[in-house]
Structure 1
């Protein structure tokens, strides 16, 4: 009889974990609290490290059908508009790391994973079901109770239920995520109706004092994703705070920046698009394997290691987690609790490193004064060496 994994959370991390577990020979029941499977419309950057995981699951062709593959990453000054550094992606990334650097609409990646799961007979998907509590029984099973009082048993429970994870709240009891002090304005616009000067086929990062912006293509290049991150105050309700943003707030945040950046951001107004505003939250870096797995319960993705977006690795680390979980779950001659600990032992240090580097990048991106001048000089001199990250994209474990 196959072992059974219960998964809380139907986002990208939860779907990737469910797919990985079926590849490891497990039966999976996935529970999503929302009434339907859906994802917020925003872009994701996937480095070669996470694209290789998709390839291993046989998803290269579906990914190629929906993603864009920028030829380069360019860093520019948000004040002067001058280029500071470039890194070749495209074929150069494939040659270096065995996989492309892709940019994808979050909903497209979510749909791709759902489609792959629909072909796995060992998977059951349940919507409108929230996990409330869990307990480990004496006979090496985990018992889960839903918010509606239904009781479910499995051989292991995976909390992939995001930043505000209820599984984490019980497993670690370590309080709420912390507000980073940064706010993200996000928008998606069709590129077809834009003037050529507003379109993009590359990743461009604009660095300015106490702010930065990123733009890149998604959905085969048909759409453009724009993100502006600025310093700001915490809203009263962090957990449920997501709303339409006033375009004048974006314009105010960009006061003093160059016309080229304002033109790029102006693509939203030109296409009559809409900005959405999110507070960015995270947690301290993972401190050890017990932060990711205890007994028959494990955490994955944002439930385990929410991070700031300044390495563009939030989704990537969740996908890597799923790949490592697959390797651990496939060790069928080992007790389940030891398999989950093996998963955590092999993941916690890498996740912690990415969390630390992401936070550090935020300070560098938003630098002011002498630090900003030094950053710009270093980028002009050592650009490709600073932008390329072999430790991340070409990790020796094969992610």
Structure 2
């Protein structure tokens, strides 16, 4: 029985994690990235213990610890008056509870360590400047058309091509675009050494306000601070572009003034970028993640709002689970194994999608709902902020 030949569309975190996991299971992998060179933009990402366990399994623990920050606590504050509402210890508390730490990192750094691991694996061929434009599954193989001069054939195709996935329609039969949510996110990154001592941080800080919230946490070994503000505001621009130039004045036009301490942090940011938040309804069945010889991972399958900080995490989980489902699998067994993968993953991803949507409503609450939220957090903070069903899986 020969190892399967797997084609992976997309060279972001989802595609690299999938390719690395598949290569470690001795499959032959061709990965296609539409850009002429691998790169990643964006802001920080939070890596809960569930994600850290998967990265350990992928063999990138040591480089991860060289680029990540280990926040001491998650602290929730009011964006209106700045007072502390609740606190969840992280650090050693997460390690004791879940066997892995809670980490924060810059997206580009995580992408870089996965890319380095893929390159050193010897099992993955990287094809840049090649965008997958179509795919047809037939008996015994999947045929892929690309922007290059040749067509490709493999035993399976993994759609890791993100929010605007081309591959997704080959699985779901649905070519509709993702939903624009009416929420916009602004992000900034600054060296902690450039901030006054009062604004530097070793923890994750969250400020909750009416129809908005803000998050700040350390990245890059704690040397930089990542700041994100999310508000129910008109789209910032082209929904396809999640790296739009923006400004503090545009942010403030959407949010209004905030608590003085949060405002001081926002004022200290050297520049702002913005993007429009999009998602899709929570998955309703395994057929939305795999069909015949094509499977989806990450945002191609289940784009979600960032209100549970698990978008990248679920993509990495998908890649590891996909490789496990295909372990020891020859070409003839691929369709059944992809179905097994989809059955194992769809409900968890759907739960995270739904919880992220619900968190957005809670974070941005107004009136009596906001009062009830703050009261519950003051009394039951650690219990409400911890997520055992997510972190312990």
TM-score, normalising length from structure 2? 0.97
Residue in 2 that maps onto 1:146: 146
Residue in 2 that maps onto 1:161: 161
Matches within 5 A, 1:271-282: 273-282=270-279
Residue in 1 that maps onto 2:373: 375
- Answer yes or no: is 1:312 the counterpart of 2:314: no
What secondary structure does 2:3 align onto? coil
Residue in 2 that maps onto 1:44: 45
8 Å CA contact 2:171–2:289 kept in 1: the answer is no
Q: How many residues align?
A: 390
Query: Per-residue deviation at 1:254?
Result: 4.1
Equivalent residue for 1:356, pick from 354, 357, 363:
354
Q: Residues of 2 paired with 1:10 and 1:256: CA distance?
A: 39
8 Å CA contact 1:41–1:188 kept in 2: the answer is no
Q: Residues of 1 paired with 2:257 and 2:368: CA distance?
A: 18
What secondary structure does 1:278 align onto? strand
Q: Residues of 1 paired with 2:236 and 2:53: CA distance?
A: 38
Residue in 2 that maps onto 1:173: 173
Deviates more, 1:248-257 or 1:48-57: 248-257
Structure 2: segments with no counterpart, 5+ residues: none
Query: Per-residue deviation at 1:297?
Result: 0.2
Matches within 5 A, 1:1-399: 1-138=2-139, 140-174=140-174, 175-234=176-235, 237-240=238-241, 242-268=243-269, 273-332=270-329, 335-395=333-393
Q: Residues of 1 paired with 2:67 and 2:243: CA distance?
A: 26
8 Å CA contact 2:237–2:244 kept in 1: the answer is no
Query: Per-residue deviation at 1:122?
Result: 1.4
Q: Residues of 1 paired with 2:208 and 2:376: CA distance?
A: 13
* CA displacement, residues 91-117 of structure 1 (integer Å, 9 cap, x when unaligned): 110110010100000110000001111
Q: Residues of 1 paired with 2:63 and 2:90: CA distance?
A: 20
Deviates more, 1:120-129 or 1:234-243: 234-243
Query: Per-residue deviation at 1:149?
Result: 4.8
Q: Residues of 1 paired with 2:250 and 2:377: CA distance?
A: 30
Q: Residues of 2 paired with 1:241 and 1:65: CA distance?
A: 27
8 Å CA contact 2:184–2:236 kept in 1: the answer is no
What secondary structure does 2:268 align onto? helix
What secondary structure does 1:80 align onto? coil
Query: Per-residue deviation at 1:241?
Result: 6.0
Q: Residues of 2 paired with 1:41 and 1:256: CA distance?
A: 25
Q: Residues of 1 paired with 2:373 and 2:87: CA distance?
A: 14
Query: Per-residue deviation at 1:121?
Result: 1.2
Query: Per-residue deviation at 1:236?
Result: 6.4
TM-score, normalising length from structure 1? 0.95
Q: Residues of 2 paired with 1:243 and 1:235: CA distance?
A: 8
Q: Residues of 2 paired with 1:210 and 1:74: CA distance?
A: 19
* CA displacement, residues 162-211 of structure 1 (integer Å, 9 cap, x when unaligned): 00001113332321100111000011111112101111110001000000
